[in-house]
Structure 1
Amino acid sequence: MDDEIFSKYLKTESVFKDQQSLNQAWVPTSKQKIICRQNELKKLLLIHRPIIQTQGEFSTNTLVLGKGGIGKTVTIRYFGKRFREAVLKEDIKLTIEYYDCLQHRTKSSILRNISERLHYSAGHGYSDNEIMEQILKELIKRKESLLIILDEVHKLPPDDILSLLNASIGFGEQNTRFCIICISRESDWFKVDNEKISSRIQEVIKMQPYNKEESFEILQYRRNLAFRDGVLEDDVLELIADIVYEQKNMRTGIDIMRSCGLHADEQMTSTITPEMVLQSRESVSPSFRADILDNLSLHEHLTLWAIAAALKHTGNPFTKVDESFEFYKMKCEELGYKPHVQMSFRKYIRNLSSVKAIYKEYLNPTSEKKGRQIQIKLTDITPEKLCDYFEKRIPPKA
């Protein structure tokens, strides 16, 4: 049976031409391009052009802000790749390192990795400040520039961010040859930003979500890279573009395309249908939701979890305030939190509705129910996925 499965699927032609181009870590090659981010690329180039003009004796700190899923990371990584190619043609030494601060959560981790990347061992027993000093001295000695990209920079402690930004501005009387590009959602950056940190940022680039036409243009380009001709027609691609524009999240659209392609391969069909798009939309969890969830209070989290739990329990597409309030009290009791009164619970529902974490609609009074009833639905994520999300992130009260 296993041999039949391997033989069947390995010998069948895939709908994909280059599946890797739909991966989250994808960065365009020199022969490929970034769509609809030319203005941001131009700004980045103008900011860092002095590295070429001064033969590397230049330092600056840049902050790139924007919602999740709008191309911040891929744009910055593509810029770094192309800029390094241009700088090397001028016989200037430039090293560019990318750090995801979800993986490197401290200044110490980043500094020690930089030492290794520069093939320069700081040795054991050195403090972070001593390692930083050695790195900067080594850059000056080699006449080499270093540009580091700190993605999800808000995951670093504020003091660590400040220390890194300070180092790139100056060290002693010499230029450090050390530049930083920080990437963050705007809502996350506000959590770590302070007057000292802001004063160390020389340039801020705010990236906006794509409009409807840009969404389609980008998806069309990525479609042409990823799929064979005729697999994903424009009319079906329009459905995905509508979802991207509605959610202001390109990552969701790319994930839907990849999911649809895998689904088509599984069914051994050569085309992606509208039904596949709708089905994939249900399975793709949009990353932009972090923008919403990160700004909610504990009891707003518990309220949203209770709504998802009620929907999951009943299997209905909607729930009502009284029903979800019972699940809210159960969740609070289960986790050891004191539940708030129903009036507060209704306020949390209003707040969740205002940030579009839920939909609520009013039903007309009936002979059985005199007052207006509120019907509550989730927006674009399944109850199961939302329950899984909260189970991993809200611990019992200590």
Structure 2
Amino acid sequence: MRSGKTTLVKHIIRSLNKKVIVAYVDCSLYQTTYSILKEILPRSEFVLYRSNYELIKELLKYAREKRFAVCFDNFEKLKEKDLIARLMSLNLCIILISDNEENLSLLSESIRSNIPSIIRLQAYTIEQSFDILKDRDDISTLKFNDSTTWYNYLFRDEKDQT
């Protein structure tokens, strides 16, 4: 079951964008230090063969000019977790999102000891899930016949989905 972690953080990011620049990185898509730094600093996209060191220097310069934070969604998929420590050492605000709190054990003790707080969200109930789906525009485009309910459509067995 989902709990709305990413949605909550993205909502907070949107509300902070006037005061703080927040780079959102989905570590399912960007897993290496280089790809993440390139994602955080999109203007450096067109400069080929820049080293991680140069990109971190550019990020530090950028962060000195503006308040800056980095959100790592699915942080457990990050291949080089020491990047989190490097960015923390630059005094950047770091937000880590994961489906499982046990994934914190993948981080070094020095990183874990610098995490000031952990927010735990409970999984949505079925009723909350329905309420969310009702609010989404795309669900209204689904066509149901009289014998098909939303529940049957959404929670049918895998074998029935073909």
Same fold, TM exceeding 0.5?
yes
Higher gyration radius (CA): 1
Give the equivalent residue in structure 2 for 1:219: 130
Q: Is 2:74 the counterpart of 1:148?
A: no
Q: Aligned to 1:203, what secondary structure does the other structure show?
A: coil
Give the equivalent residue in structure 1 for 2:61: 137
Structure 1 CA distance for aligned equivalents of residues 59 and 44 of structure 2: 8
Q: Is the 8 A contact 1:161 1:197 kept in 2?
A: no
Q: By how many angstroms is 1:104 displaced? A: 0.3
Q: Is the 8 A contact 1:146 1:179 kept in 2?
A: yes
Q: By how many angstroms is 1:210 displaced? A: 3.6
Q: Aligned to 2:95, what secondary structure does the other structure show?
A: strand
Structure 2 CA distance for aligned equivalents of residues 262 and 122 of structure 1: 42
Structure 1 CA distance for aligned equivalents of residues 143 and 54 of structure 2: 53
Residues 277 and 138 (structure 1 numbering): CA distance in 2 closer, same or farther, change over 3 Å? closer
Q: Aligned to 2:72, what secondary structure does the other structure show?
A: strand
Could you tell me the TM-score, scaled by structure 1's length? 0.35
1:103-252 matched pairs, under 5 angstroms: 103-116=29-42, 119-120=43-44, 123-140=47-64, 143-157=65-79, 160-170=80-90, 176=91, 178-186=92-100, 189-190=103-104, 192-211=106-125, 216=127, 219-220=130-131, 222-226=133-137
Q: Is the 8 A contact 1:100 1:151 kept in 2?
A: yes
Deviations 1:278-332 (A, max 9, x none): 243125xxxxxxxxxxxxxxxxxxxxxxxxxxxxxxxxxxxxxxxxxxxxxxxxx
Number of matched pairs: 162
Residues 261 and 124 (structure 1 numbering): CA distance in 2 closer, same or farther, change over 3 Å? closer
1:61-100 matched pairs, under 5 angstroms: 69-85=2-18, 87=19, 94-100=20-26
Structure 2 CA distance for aligned equivalents of residues 122 and 131 of structure 1: 13
Q: For structure 1, which runs of at least 5 residues remain unmatched after alignment?
A: 1-67, 88-93, 171-175, 228-257, 284-380, 386-398
Q: For structure 2, which runs of at least 5 residues remain unmatched after alignment?
A: none
Structure 2 CA distance for aligned equivalents of residues 273 and 167 of structure 1: 50
In structure 2, give the amino acid aligned to 1:127.
S
Could you tell me the TM-score, scaled by structure 2's length? 0.77
Structure 2 CA distance for aligned equivalents of residues 151 and 104 of structure 1: 10
Deviations 1:315-372 (A, max 9, x none): xxxxxxxxxxxxxxxxxxxxxxxxxxxxxxxxxxxxxxxxxxxxxxxxxxxxxxxxxx
Question: Bigger relative contact order, structure 1 or 2, given CA contacts below 8 A and separation 6+?
Answer: 2
In structure 1, give the amino acid aligned to 2:116.
Q
Q: Is 2:120 the counterpart of 1:262?
A: no
Give the equivalent residue in structure 2 for 1:338: none
Structure 2 CA distance for aligned equivalents of residues 223 and 180 of structure 1: 33
Residues 217 and 105 (structure 1 numbering): CA distance in 2 closer, same or farther, change over 3 Å? closer
Q: Is the 8 A contact 2:2 2:124 kept in 1?
A: no
Q: By how many angstroms is 1:146 displaced? A: 1.8
Structure 1 CA distance for aligned equivalents of residues 88 and 68 of structure 2: 10
Q: Is the 8 A contact 1:95 1:144 kept in 2?
A: yes
Q: By how many angstroms is 1:204 displaced? A: 1.3
Q: Aligned to 1:80, what secondary structure does the other structure show?
A: helix
1:287-302 matched pairs, under 5 angstroms: none
1:297-316 matched pairs, under 5 angstroms: none
